[in-house]
């Protein structure tokens, strides 16, 4: 039982990281109707910026985390203002291809500045663990759950109770009606990219902490957060969070028990399991667990 609880705890912590990334995907999709494939690059960039603030600027860790999130938010807003705003009214496919191009461009900038070596984030948690009733828990994972819980609660409070949050909801629901009420869609789009960038940076920090490291490949986690977004629903922030937890638990449980239950699936099946779950859910609910069905009149 203790082994199951330990694996489940690790899965929840992993799912919390996925939830932060998936929420960034959903915010941009909900506001603009575009899937941002550059989210993984923003995650990596935010993590490297935090590393630079900790190790080069020698800022306290928590101040560096806030600085890295703020810097990535500015990069996200700049991308929207300088690149994607020019694509308003153009085919969605073209905009998506631009985000893919941005993914490779940002990844190249990262390797030019910081190289390919694994770098130590120098977070305060290290590899420390605590024992709770026979269950060994990583301090890094405890902090990850705490950070993710706080950030997600703050986001939902912002989304529901602030003027900008109401403007974002109104624009996502009916852009033309929001414009008629004096809401600036451009500002909403820029804010969406800024929030998405900040969330990506925070997710990257939790991924690179502890025994892990900052590497150019850290952005590939967005590929595993992608099923979380699809499972929850492309336009559902709540679905992004629950989808992240479902995918994180699935991956952890498969990694923990596959050798005992289904060794014939081969090594590394835990990396494929999220996509299997995604396919199964889409077969039953094509718009995800909380996605809004699209009704077309013929």
Contact indicator for 168, 219 with CB cutoff of 8 Å: no
Sign (positive or negative) of CA dihedral 217, 223, 224, 229 = positive
Structure tokens that stand for 240 in this block:
């992004």
Hey, which residues does 249 pair with through a beta bridge?
none
Taking only the tens place, the pLDDT of each residue in 230-269 is 999 888 888 999 999 999 999 999 988 888 878 888 788 8
| Model pLDDT, residue 88 | 73
Taking only the tens place, the pLDDT of each residue in 81-138 is 998 888 877 888 888 899 999 999 999 999 999 999 999 988 888 778 888 777 788 8
Please determine, for residue 281, whether its predicted confidence score (pLDDT) is greater than 50. yes
Least confident of 5-19, 44-58, 152-166: 152-166
Please determine, for residue 295, whether its predicted confidence score (pLDDT) is greater than 70. no
Please determine, for residue 80, whether its predicted confidence score (pLDDT) is greater than 80. yes
DSSP string covering 159-171: HHHSHHHHHHHHH
pLDDT band at 298 (very low <50, low <70, confident <90, very high): very low
User: Quick one: three-class SS letters along 236-294?
Assistant: CHHHHHHHHHHHHHHHHHHHHHHHHHCHHHCCCHHHCHHHHHHHHHHHHCCCCCCCCCC
Please determine, for residue 228, whether its predicted confidence score (pLDDT) is greater than 70. yes
pLDDT band at 171 (very low <50, low <70, confident <90, very high): confident
Q: For the chain, what percentages of helix, strand and coil (3-state, to nearest 5) are there?
A: 75, 5, 20
| Model pLDDT, residue 195 | 93
| Model pLDDT, residue 294 | 64
Residue with tokens 């073209």: 94
Q: Within 10 Å of residue 73's Cβ, how many Cβ atoms?
A: 23
pLDDT band at 296 (very low <50, low <70, confident <90, very high): low
| Model pLDDT, residue 86 | 84
The Cα–Cα gap between 277 and 261 comes to 17
Burial level of 176, CB count in 10 A (0-12/13-18/19+)? exposed
């Amino acid at each position: 039982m203790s082994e199951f609880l330990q694996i489940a705890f690790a899965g929840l912590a992993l799912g919390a990281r996925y939830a932060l990334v998936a929420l960034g995907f959903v915010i941009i999709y909900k506001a603009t109707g575009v899937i941002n494939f550059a989210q993984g690059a923003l995650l990596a960039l935010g993590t490297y910026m935090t590393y630079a603030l900790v190790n080069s600027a020698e800022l306290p860790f928590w101040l560096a985390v806030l600085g890295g999130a703020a810097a990535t938010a500015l990069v996200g807003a700049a991308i929207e203002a300088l690149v994607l705003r020019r694509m308003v009214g153009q085919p969605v496919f073209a905009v998506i291809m631009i985000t893919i191009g941005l993914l490779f461009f940002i990844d190249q900038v990262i390797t030019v500045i910081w190289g390919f070596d694994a770098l130590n984030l120098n977070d305060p948690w290290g590899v420390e663990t605590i024992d709770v009733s026979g269950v060994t828990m990583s301090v890094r994972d405890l902090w990850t759950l705490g950070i993710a819980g706080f950030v997600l609660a703050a986001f939902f409070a912002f989304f529901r109770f602030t003027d900008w949050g109401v403007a974002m909801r109104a624009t996502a629901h009916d852009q033309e009606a929001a414009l008629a009420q004096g809401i600036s869609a451009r500002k909403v789009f820029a804010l969406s990219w800024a929030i998405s960038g900040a969330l990506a940076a925070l997710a990257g920090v939790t991924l690179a902490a502890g025994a892990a490291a900052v590497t150019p490949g850290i952005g590939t986690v967005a590929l595993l957060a992608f099923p979380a977004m699809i499972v929850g629903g492309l336009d559902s922030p709540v679905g992004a969070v629950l989808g992240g937890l479902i995918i994180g638990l699935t991956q952890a449980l498969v990694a923990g028990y596959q050798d005992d239950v289904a060794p014939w699936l081969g090594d590394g099946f835990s990396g494929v399991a999220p996509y299997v779950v995604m396919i199964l859910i889409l077969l039953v609910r094509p718009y995800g667990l909380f996605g809004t069905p699209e009704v077309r009149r013929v």
